[in-house]
Structure 1
Amino acid sequence: MIVIVLTAAPPKIRGHLTRWLFEISPGVYVGKVSARVRELIWEQILDNIRDGRAVMVYSANNEQGLEFKTYGQEWSPVDFEGLELIMRPHNQGESSGKSQGASRRKGWSNASRYRRFGR
């Protein structure tokens, strides 16, 4: 089984993929093809994607049961002790759940100070 997700792809690629796969949602293609056809489809995507992004997930005989390829993504696949994981880029300017202008105070929290000094 194979799943391909395209973002900002030219119509040429989308039309080509409909020859081999079902388009179940805009930019999402699913089907069952041989490994050779899968690799040829991926080459066609890389040759014609331009500024778009592509992710291909397919069945494999490994512990996860799948493998994937990406193109044009900020997130990148990383091998972690035999498991293929996705590494997200860390943006220094982002703070978790807070606005961009808010700065974090350094040091111990007020609750930990109270506990520490028995107040």
Structure 2
Amino acid sequence: MASMVMISTTAIPDHVGGALSRWLIEPCPGLFVGTVSARVRDELWSIVSASIGDGLAVLIHPADTEQGFAMRTAGRRRRHVIDFDGLQLIKFAATGPDDTSETASAIVN
């Protein structure tokens, strides 16, 4: 069953934005919104997270959780999604001149 998804991107390669715009609309720069199946959503996210380069991306989609949605992130960022007793919360990481942490968040359902 199709559901609404939102992908927010910053400083991604042009080909990644092109791939996203085939399936989703871009109402403002870097924000992609649409209604797709879970399979298409997961394929789009694998393309984005594998090709993020120096950019960053956040995927928000409906899920059977207390909050009603799930978040995934990829790329270098200061905010990290953490699980706190089944709730997804945002943790701010300290930044420094040599901070090069780059991770992709796991799926939390």
TM-score, with structure 1 as normaliser: 0.73
Match of 2:51 among 48, 51, 68: 48
Q: Deviations over 1:75-95 (max 9, x none)?
A: 111111111101112469xxx
Flag as ranges the 4+ runs of structure 1 deviating above 3 A: none
Q: Deviations over 1:12-52 (max 9, x none)?
A: 01111111001010000000111111110011002211111
Structure with the larger helix share: 1
Name the structure 2 match of 1:75: 79
**Is 2:18 the counterpart of 1:18?**
no
Q: 1:61 to 1:91 in 2, by over 3 A?
A: same
Structure with the larger strand share: 2
The amino acid across from 2:26 in the alignment is: E
In 1, Cα distance between equivalents of 2:51 and 2:95: 30
In 1, Cα distance between equivalents of 2:27 and 2:51: 21
Between the aligned residues of both structures, percent identity stands at 42
Number of residues of Structure 1 aligned to a counterpart in Structure 2: 92
The amino acid across from 2:9 in the alignment is: L
> Which residues of structure 1 form unaligned runs of 5+?
93-119
**Is 2:86 the counterpart of 1:85?**
no
Name the structure 2 match of 1:103: none
Q: Name the SS of the counterpart of 2:36 in structure 1.
A: coil
> Which residues of structure 2 form unaligned runs of 5+?
97-109
Structure whose CA Rg is larger: 1
The amino acid across from 1:10 in the alignment is: P
TM-score, with structure 2 as normaliser: 0.79
RMSD: 1.4
In 2, Cα distance between equivalents of 1:65 and 1:46: 23
